[in-house]
Amino acid sequence: MLIRRPPKISPLEITPEASYVTRRRWLKQAGIVSAGLTLPMTPTYAGLQPDDDITPERIATTYNNFYEFGTGKDDPAEHAHNLTTDPWTVTVSGEAKKTGQFAFEDIVKGLTPQERIYRFRCVEAWSMVVPWEGIELSKILAQFEPNGNAKYVEFKTLVRPSEMPEQRSVFSTIDWPYVEGLRMDEAYHPLSLMVTGMYGKPLPNQNGAPWRLMVPWKYGFKSVKSIVSIRFMQQAPRNTWNRLAPNEYGFYANVNPSVSHPRWSQASERRLPSSLFNPNRRPTLPFNGYADEVAGLYAGMDLAKFY
């Protein structure tokens, strides 16, 4: 398929912005803030198309998946305020030189967050365009000096039933904690972010405070929230959705319009906001529109088999 793309700024060329103020000014210059959160024709940012308007913040913070707080889309926004995110301890283990327990502030100290506007697409076929703020995942991981046996990295969400109602539910089919993983080369790709904020503010609890993953070329379920464990592994970890339904969800989860989910097509998506009268449906792009940047990671792999 031939996709016409506007000229774009490579993520490698984006200068880290020193402060919130500078960032807002940059957004203004780019025409993003002043144009009422509508992206300008040029310059585009991290592979966005001219019609990729920023999704209203209210939608991105109230229409969520975070099953620890309930299975309804509005459950996270309703219940996640009860989550205590300070203090926050992260356990690092496995194939790395520096392992142990670390305070969240110590891990992110000295690393500069950057604003990255990425397309986000859920496996349920809705999508959004969100100004995420985060630190390149490679910079986080490199601090722990993973060794040559580290081929994969696994992330786990907090287990705290006292604050996460679905973890107390006897009807829950999920085996907590929520687990996700990446191949190391995916994790070290400059588009992979550890997100600490969105819309110029700290990350709301329902979106995965204090930090969550964001891998823009993959389905939303990869972006594990409220992470408390990072483990460097020789083998691929079994991720939550793959364990629940292996024929529906694989390890890779690369956005792929030509591979259907067993129960629905993945060829198009509903860009939020969407309604009955304005469904705002559009074709899904291979690798969610980031093929130029990431397709090389999967050269020679059968993407119908490694889904």
Ligand X SMILES: Nc1nc2c(c(=O)[nH]1)N[C@H]1C(S)=C(S)[C@@H](COP(=O)(O)O)O[C@H]1N2
CB of 7 to ligand X, least distance (A): 29
227-256 residues in contact with Mo ion (CB under 5 A) are: none
**What are the b/e assignments for 37-62, b being 16+ CB within 10 Å?**
bebeeeebbbbbbeebbbbebeebbe
Answer whether 117's CB lies under 8 Å from 44's CB: no
Query: Distances in Å between the alpha carbon of 111 and those of 89, 134, 205, 218?
Result: 18, 10, 21, 25
**Residue 48 interacts with, from ligand X, Mo ion, none (CB under 5-8 Å by kind):** none
Q: Which stretch binds ligand X (CB under 6 A): 60-68, 138-146, 182-190, 287-295?
A: 60-68
Binding mask 117-146 for Mo ion (x = CB under 5 A): -----xx-----------------------
What distance lies between CA 88 and its chain's CA centroid?
20
How far separated are the first and last CA of the chain, in Å rounded? 19
Residues 112, 273: Cα–Cα separation, whole Å: 31
Q: Which stretch binds ligand X (CB under 6 A): 14-22, 79-87, 90-98, 221-229?
A: 221-229
CB of 124 to Mo ion, least distance (A): 6
Is the CB of 122 or the CB of 228 nearer to Mo ion?
Answer: 122
Length of the chain: 307
C-alpha closest to that of 70 among 206, 198, 210: 206
**Residue 178 interacts with, from Mo ion, ligand X, none (CB under 5-8 Å by kind):** ligand X
Residues 158, 211: Cα–Cα separation, whole Å: 11
Is the CB of 95 or the CB of 178 nearer to ligand X?
Answer: 178
Is the CB of 44 or the CB of 157 nearer to Mo ion?
Answer: 157
**Residue 225 interacts with, from Mo ion, ligand X, none (CB under 5-8 Å by kind):** ligand X
Q: Which of 45, 66, 211, 249 contacts ligand X by CB under 6 A?
A: 66
Dihedral of CA atoms 167, 173, 175, 178 in degrees, nearest 10, equals -70
Binding mask 146-185 for ligand X (x = CB under 6 A): -----------x--------------------x-------
Is the CB of 39 or the CB of 164 nearer to ligand X?
Answer: 164
Please tell me what DSSP assigns to residue 115.
E
Residues 96, 234: Cα–Cα separation, whole Å: 11
CB of 221 to ligand X, least distance (A): 4
Query: By CB under 6 A, is residue 220 in contact with ligand X?
Result: yes
Task: Return the ∠ at Cα 238 (arms to 237 and 240), rounded to 5°.
Answer: 125
CB of 175 to ligand X, least distance (A): 12
What does the binding site for ligand X look like in residue numbers (CB under 6 A)? 64-68, 122, 157, 178, 207, 220-221, 223-225
